Each structure stands twice: as C-alpha cells, then as structure tokens.
C-alpha cells in the first residue's frame, strides 16, 4: 500500500466563481471524499486559502526571516489536496480523475516518500 498526494492545481489568476458555482463545486468534491471514505482509501482532505494568505519562513544561518506571499510567484498554486492510500499509481489515477472532474482543476498525483527510494 502506498500513499499518494492528490494536489489541486488552482489557477489563481482566473476570475472568481459565483457563490452558487463554489457551492456546487464543494458539493461535488465532498461527494468524492465520501466515496473515498466508503472505499477505505481516504487519509486526509483539505482546502486551502488563496496564496496571498500565506507566509514563508526562512532560517538562513539560523536567522529567521518572514516573507509575505507564496513560495513561488506562479499562476498555478496549491488550492487544496487529498491524501489517499492505493495499491498502485493506476488506482490513484482513477481517484485523481474523479477529483479533477469534481473541482474542474488539474490534479497532480504524487507518491509519498515511503523510504524505499535509496538508489
């Protein structure tokens, strides 16, 4: 069993959606999460605030500095994510497809480092 991060790639430069559209989207993603729980693959889910709410902490040479805003200035930001358990990538990809359909955003599928990568 491996764990996979299903990360929502959110285009923050896109115009904001209507409240009704947001609610409909939340209902759809909630349904996918319920499906994951029923299938026994669900580990975690979370939606994130936009990246303008983020702060980056750096500690070069032991001195702490804070920076306002996201780590990298790109259009695509992490919008939210699921963590699931799956037998293999194919299973994770099936869930990623459901997630992408539900939130209408690209989903990056990334395996967790389970300590097996040594070579």
Partner 1 sequence: MDLDGVYRAEYGRCVATLTRLLGDIGLAEEAVQDAFAVAVTKWDETLPPNPGAWIVTTARNRAIDRLRRESTREARHAQALLLHQSDELEEVGPVRDDQLRLIFTCCHPALSPLAQTALTLRLLGGLEVPEIARAYLVPEATISQRIVRAKKKIRDAGIPYRVPDAAELPGRLASVLTVLYLIFNEGYASTSGELLRTDLCADAVRLARALAELMPDEPEVLGLLALLLLTEARRPARVSPSGELVVLAEQDRSRWDRELIAEGHALVRRCLRRNRPGPYQLQAAINAVHTDGPSTDWTQVLALYDQLLAQNPSPVVALNRAVAVAEVHGPALALATLEHLDLPGYHLLPATRADFLTRLGRTAEAVAAYDEAIALAGNETERTFLETRRARLASTNH
Site residues (vs partner 1, CB under 8 A): 2, 86-90, 92-93, 109, 111, 113, 116-119
Task: Pick the closer one to partner 1 by CB: 78 or 93.
Answer: 93
Task: Pick the closer one to partner 1 by CB: 52 or 108.
Answer: 108
Query: CA 79 to CA 9: how far, in whole Å?
Result: 6
Strands 65-68 and 55-58: antiparallel
Query: CA 21 to CA 73: how far, in whole Å?
Result: 27
| Least spacing, CB of residue 43 vs partner 1, in Å | 15
Task: Pick the closer one to partner 1 by CB: 20 or 117.
Answer: 117
Task: Pick the closer one to partner 1 by CB: 59 or 116.
Answer: 116
| Least spacing, CB of residue 51 vs partner 1, in Å | 26
| Least spacing, CB of residue 96 vs partner 1, in Å | 11
What residues contact residue 87 under an 8 Å CB cut-off, 6+ apart?
Answer: 1, 2
Instruction: Specify whether the backbone of 62 is left (phi greater than 0), alpha (psi in -120 to 50) or beta.
Output: left
| Least spacing, CB of residue 117 vs partner 1, in Å | 5
Query: CA 87 to CA 31: how far, in whole Å?
Result: 22
């Amino acid at each position: 069993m491996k764990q996979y991060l299903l990360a929502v790639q959110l285009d923050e430069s896109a115009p904001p959606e209507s409240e009704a559209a947001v609610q409909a989207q939340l209902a759809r993603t909630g349904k996918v999460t319920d499906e994951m729980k029923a299938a026994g693959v669900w580990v975690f889910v979370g939606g994130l605030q936009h990246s303008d709410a983020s702060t980056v902490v750096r500690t070069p040479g032991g001195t702490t500095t804070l920076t306002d805003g996201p780590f990298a200035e790109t259009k695509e930001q992490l919008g939210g994510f699921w963590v699931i358990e799956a037998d293999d990538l194919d299973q994770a990809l099936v869930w990623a497809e459901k997630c992408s359909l539900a939130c209408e955003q690209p989903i990056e599928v990334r395996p967790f480092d389970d300590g097996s990568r040594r070579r």
